């Protein structure tokens, strides 16, 4: 059974989107792009993110989604904007019935490179090695594909955890 996964690397100006197909332990590149919002009014940028991701979901019909967690740096205003952008993207997924699983940047890097503090170019290199996507592969799209790959590795375990927890509750 093939499972189509959506990975999202959120940003308020550029958001990476990657879609992969997973069958057993095989993964295959399906699509990648970057949704560019420009630097206009912030509410319009949020709408562009929502509409752009909605269009991609409608076209490619993923069954599950993953998004990178907000990275909080010293600039609180930027972190708040990134959080709002994530909200618009998560809302787009929800509007299409997709459950969204968040992953930390460290967990994504660990899953793809094997080292949680890997550099962006190392992540891009491993995404190219694993998926052989058509070039060019923008950095944001490579990061989104990495999120999808991370989800492919971790989603079966999360599903198993939920199944085990339900079974334990029923027998208790």
pTM for the full predicted model: 0.89
Average the pLDDT over 143-156 and give the result: 93
Sheet with 64-68: strands ordered across: 26-36, 14-23, 3-9, 64-68, 100-103
Torsion sign over Cα 155, 78, 33, 107: negative
Residue 50 has a CB neighbour count (10 Å cut-off) of 20
CB of 27 closer than 8 Å to CB of 152: yes
Domain ranges of the chain: 3-171
Phi, psi of 21 (to 5 degrees): -105, 140
* From 43, 55, 64, 68, active-site residue: 68
* From 119, 140, 143, 161, active-site residue: 140
**Per-residue pLDDT band at 106 (split at 50, 70, 90):** very high
Question: Could you give the 3-state DSSP secondary structure of residue 18?
Answer: strand
Look up 9 and say whether it is catalytic.
Answer: yes
Pairing verdict, β 100-103 and 26-36:
unpaired
Look up 43 and say whether it is catalytic.
Answer: no
**Per-residue pLDDT band at 44 (split at 50, 70, 90):** very high
pLDDT (0 to 100) of residue 69 = 93
Cα angle value 90/95/96 (rounded, 5°): 100
pLDDT (0 to 100) of residue 51 = 98
DSSP calls for 56-73: HHHHH--SEEEEEPPPP-
Question: What is the DSSP secondary structure assignment for residue 24, as one 8-state letter?
Answer: T
Closest CA to 107 of 157, 150, 54: 150
**Per-residue pLDDT band at 158 (split at 50, 70, 90):** low
DSSP calls for 99-142: -EEEE-HHHHHHHHHS-TT--HHHHHHHHHHHH-PPSP--HHHH
pLDDT top residue among 169 and 154 = 154
Residue 166 above 80 pLDDT?
Answer: no
Rounded to whole angstroms, the Cα distance separating 15 from 93 reads 14
CATH number of the domain at 3-171, please? 3.30.420.10
Look up 68 and say whether it is catalytic.
Answer: yes
């Amino acid at each position: 059974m093939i499972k189509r996964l959506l990975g999202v690397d959120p940003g308020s100006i550029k958001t990476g989107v990657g879609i992969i197909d997973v069958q057993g332990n095989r993964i295959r590149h399906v699509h990648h792009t970057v949704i560019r919002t420009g630097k206009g009014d912030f509410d319009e940028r949020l709408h562009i993110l929502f509409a752009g991701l909605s269009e991609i979901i409608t076209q490619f019909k993923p069954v599950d989604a993953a998004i990178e967690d907000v990275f909080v740096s010293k600039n609180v205003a930027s972190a708040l904007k990134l959080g709002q952008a994530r909200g618009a993207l998560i809302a787009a997924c929800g509007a299409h019935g997709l459950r969204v699983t968040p992953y930390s940047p460290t967990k994504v890097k660990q899953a793809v490179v094997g080292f949680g503090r890997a550099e962006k170019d190392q992540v891009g290199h491993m995404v190219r090695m694993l998926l052989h996507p058509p070039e060019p592969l923008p950095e944001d799209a490579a990061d989104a594909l990495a999120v999808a790959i991370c989800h492919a590795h971790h989603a079966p375990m999360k599903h198993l955890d939920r199944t085990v927890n339900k079974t334990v509750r029923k027998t208790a």
